[in-house]
Each structure stands twice: as structure tokens, then as C-alpha cells.
Amino acid sequence: MSKAIKKEAPLTMDVFTAGIWKENPVFVMMLGLCPVLAVTNSVENSLAMGAASIFVLVCSNALVSALRNFIPKQVRITTYIIIIATFVTLVDYIIQAISLDLYNKLGAFIQLIVVNCLILGRAEAYASKNSFGKSVISALGMGLGFTLALVMLGGVRELLGAGQLLGYQVFSLDFEPWVVMILPPGGFIVLGSWLLLINYIEQRKTGKLLANDMASHCNVSQN
Amino acid sequence: MTEPTDNKANEVPPLPSSFSLISTLGVVAMLSGFLVVLVYEYTKPIIAENQRLATERAIFKVLPKANSRLTFVIKGDDIQPADDKSKGELIYAGYDKDNNFVGIALNAAEQGYQDIVKLLYGYSPDTGCITGYDVLKSTETPGFGTKITTDKEFLANFNCLDAKVNLEQTALNNVIKTVRHGTKQNPWEIDAISGSTITSNAVGRMFNKSGQKLHPLIAKHLPTLKLAKQTSGDKHE
């Protein structure tokens, strides 16, 4: 294998933006769906879970990447789990120090970040193979993409399920809340609806690109 | 006979020694322990202060006439003065600005729909009424279980929920229980929230459990509780 092939790809804006949309962990890769469905019954919970996940994702990816040349392959998963569990414990204490109310609302889902496959997946698939800078930037993009998905679900569910956004009344008091939206089935309904919409937009975009390509090919052949 | 290959990519890398594996895990675990202890020590006083403030807020919410309070701990059949860091079941006696006893704040907990629901409730031994509560911990379903803090009809149950102690001071006069929405007939019954029956039942069960255990004890030690503020001065305020 030539050295040129082994050389790591440069750090570009794509490393950051891929996680937000093109490779969004929820809408494209379908990772970490347990907290996505469980805590998104309000925007506040979604933002808090998103922030906690970003912290754990960035810190664990940074440490995994920094130690990647020292961790033997045979114990890598155990090591990653220890690293992730450490940062989850830290975020658990930090949230308790910031707000007990928020901590009580999020319940066990903070501790369950340890088993979020998005975090372990990024450590194994990306941070263990890439430089420190790229791993941190990619983790930040992935974390923001995860938070964006949580807020998109939380926003719809809180709006339809309680007529509120971030606790502020949006619809009039006459609005009869769709209670199903803040129950577990509401999580599946809203996630399914977002996936339907996003895939529809993506397909239309791909269709348009194909049509443009065909049109330009026709023009070239006519000329 | 197999042909010798020079393709290094297909070679299996040598297995690292056990020492290397154990030392890697040891170093990572030590680093992990160091970080956890560092953050734990830093956040410990902040978390303790948050918990103290939350308890303080809840006590004065359920005992709105109180200006100061004293903490006591239950030791078997005895109630002894304590501080907020004491181990064991704590109860809080509230006093007005003239150091007159106004009521007791008690902890209660029971399994709800999602998880344990923890409340702090106000109890007036003189009238035998539970006079209100504040939710300390709840992860109940928003829009359903969370109604125990917002539903006006449900909260009206606790203007004076009958939790009187019997003459022998051994138990409650009547079992506190939650009844189906709209069927409440007695002052010791709790009218459930329609659609939130599990959480409503949990509230009824926890008040009955706590009442059966603590209210007779409080009745026995009521004179001590009433005079505690005047004898202790203001040091626990």
C-alpha cells in the first residue's frame, strides 16, 4: 500500500458539517434512538440531553484519539467504555450542580448515555483512527446534529402535546393538547414523520440533480 | 507445499503481552478515577447546597405560616433534635415569628408510573390535617402524572385532608385512600385525577404509609415539638 493512500485526509469544513445534516446520527444513521424517543417530550429536556451528549462525545473522542496509539486492539472497547463512563459520571455531577430540577427531569437517561451507541460508535469508527483535531471537530458536528434532531422532535412534541414551546404558551388556552404526542407513541410518530419528510426532500434533491445531469448530457451531445 | 508470501498486510500482528494490556487498563482506570474524584470534590458542596435550598424552599412552601424551622430525626419511638446532615428519617417543625408551632413537614415516597415519586408534605397535628405538598422528585409522564402539581381539583383535596390519629395514638383514625374521580365522600379520601390514576394512587398510598407510621409518633411528642423552639433559641433557624 502506498504512503499516499495511508495519509490522513485533511481537516475540512465537511468534517464538521457532515454530522449536522449529511450524516446526521438520528435522521441518517439512526443511532442513539433510545434517548431520542425517551426524553424529547419537551424542548428543555432535549436541549439538556443534547448538551450532555455533546460534552461526553467531544471529551471521549478527544481522549480516545489522543490515546489511540497506546491502546492495544484487544482491550480497546473496554478502554473506550471506561473513558465514556468517566465523562458520563462527570456530566451527571455537573448537571446536579447546575440544576436539581433538570437532573430529576432527565432521570436515568443521563447515566444511560454510557450505552448510547452513537458515543461508542464514534469512538471506535472515527476517533480511534483519526487525529485529535479531526476527532474533536467531528464529535462537535455529530453532537450538534444529535442535539438538532432532539430539539426538532422535542419542539413538535411539546407544541402539539402541550401547546407550549420552552414552557411558553404558544397556542391559545382553548387548544386541546394532543396528549399522545408527549407519550412514548408520540416519539415514534414524530420521528417517523421527520424521517418521511427528510427522505422526501433528499429524494427530490437527488431527482433534480439527476434531471440536471441528464439535461446537461443532452445539451453536450446535441452540440 | 504452500508458497511463501511477502504480503505484509495479511500478517497477523503479534499478540501484546498481558502486562501491556493490564497496564493500559490500569492507567486509563487511574485517569478515570482521578477525573471523577476531582469533579466530585468540586461539585459536592454545590450539590449539597442545591439540595439544602430545595428542601428549605419545599418546607416553607408546605408550611406557609412558618418563619423558622427546626430539624428532628426519628430514632425508633423517639424524636430527637438534629441537623440537616443527620442520618435517618428527618422531620421539620415550623414556627412563626413569635416561635409558635405552626406544623410539621414530612417526607413521603411511593412508586409512581415511571419511578419513585418523592414529596414533602405539611401536616398540622392540632387539626389532624394534611395541608399541602411539594414534589421533590418525579419523572412522571408530562401531561398525566405531572398533573399532581397543577390540577386544581386534585390540589383541593389537600386543603384539609383528614389524617387524624386515633385515641390510642397507634394509627390513623381512617385509612387515607385515593378514590375514583368524582366519587369522594369522606375527608380522608383523595379524589383521583382522571387519566392519572397511577400517580394519584401513589400519592394516596404514600400519605397513608407515612401517616400511619409518623403521625402517632408526632402526636406522642407534640409537647416537645411545640416547645423546642422556645427552649433551643434561634440557633437552628
For residue B149, what is the DSSP state?
G
Q: What percent of chain B has pLDDT over 70?
A: 92
- Residue B143 to residue A42, Cβ atoms within 8 A: no
Residue with grid cell 479531526, as numbered in its chain: A134
Please give the pLDDT value at position B4: 52
Confidence of residue A4 (pLDDT cuts 50, 70, 90): very low
Does residue B114 or residue B142 have the better pLDDT? B114
ipTM: 0.78
CB contacts < 8 A (A, B): 78
Q: Is B20 an 8 Å CB contact of chain A?
A: yes
Residue A152 clears pLDDT 90, i.e. is over it: yes
- Residue A74 to residue B144, Cβ atoms within 8 A: no
Nearest CA in chain A to B51: A100
Contacts of A83 in chain B (CB under 8 A): 28, 32
Helix or strand holding residue B73 (H, E): strand B68-75
- Residue A90 to residue B21, Cβ atoms within 8 A: no
- Residue A182 to residue B141, Cβ atoms within 8 A: yes
Nearest CA in chain B to A176: B143
The pTM of this model reads 0.76
CA distance A130 to chain B (A): 20
Q: What is the pLDDT of residues A38-94, one digit of tens each?
A: 888 889 889 988 999 999 999 999 999 998 888 888 888 999 999 999 999 999 999
Please give the pLDDT value at position A222: 65
**Where do the domains of chain A lie?**
14-217
Asked if residues A93 and B39 have their Cβ atoms less than 8 Å apart, the reply is: yes
CA angle B19, B22, B26 (to 5 degrees): 130
- Residue B142 to residue A83, Cβ atoms within 8 A: no
Mean pLDDT of chain A: 86
Asked if residues A119 and A135 have their Cβ atoms less than 8 Å apart, the reply is: no
Contacts of A107 in chain B (CB under 8 A): 114-115, 139
